[in-house]
Amino acid sequence: MSGGHFDYKESYLGYIAEQLEQDIENNDVEYEDSKPYDTPYGYQHTAETMKFMKIMVDELYKLKEILREYDYPVSGDTSEEDFLDSARVTVREYRGETMLKRLRIHNFKGWRDTGTIRMVHWQEFLPRFRRGNLLKHFTLKLGVA
């Protein structure tokens, strides 16, 4: 399968996720002049920031996978049904959670609730996919009551 609808730029999401993973791994390593210049060191982020970064890593990998699967049918390599099946599996693995919901569960500082937010479960929005703009349909759907 060739793909190429996004000029393979969805791979950059994986590179960003990998860099975030390295930042998480090296977070507690303090900078020292005596170490070799290419020694990795961290930024000493708070535990709260580290939790958020781990969530971002998961989100980036999931989005990369979904965009890759979407790339195939719009490039004529597979069918829309194959894409929907793959997207359902990816979303099912994700247990229907969204980043906003996960942030709210973790009670990050600075969270401002501007109203009652209704989280849409994956089973509600996957059947609404149509040919065309994936990002339009796959963005978080929030309803303020």
Q: What is the pLDDT of residues 41-94, one digit of tens each?
A: 777 888 898 899 999 998 899 899 889 889 888 888 888 888 888 888 887 776
Closest by CA position to 51, among listed 108, 104, 97: 108
* Residue 80 phi, psi (nearest 5): -65, -35
Residue extents of the structural domains in the chain: 11-110
pTM: 0.58
pLDDT at 15 over 90: yes
Distance CA 115, CA 144 (A): 6
Q: In the prediction, which pLDDT does 76 show?
A: 84
11-20, 42-51, 98-107, 132-141, range with the lowest pLDDT? 132-141
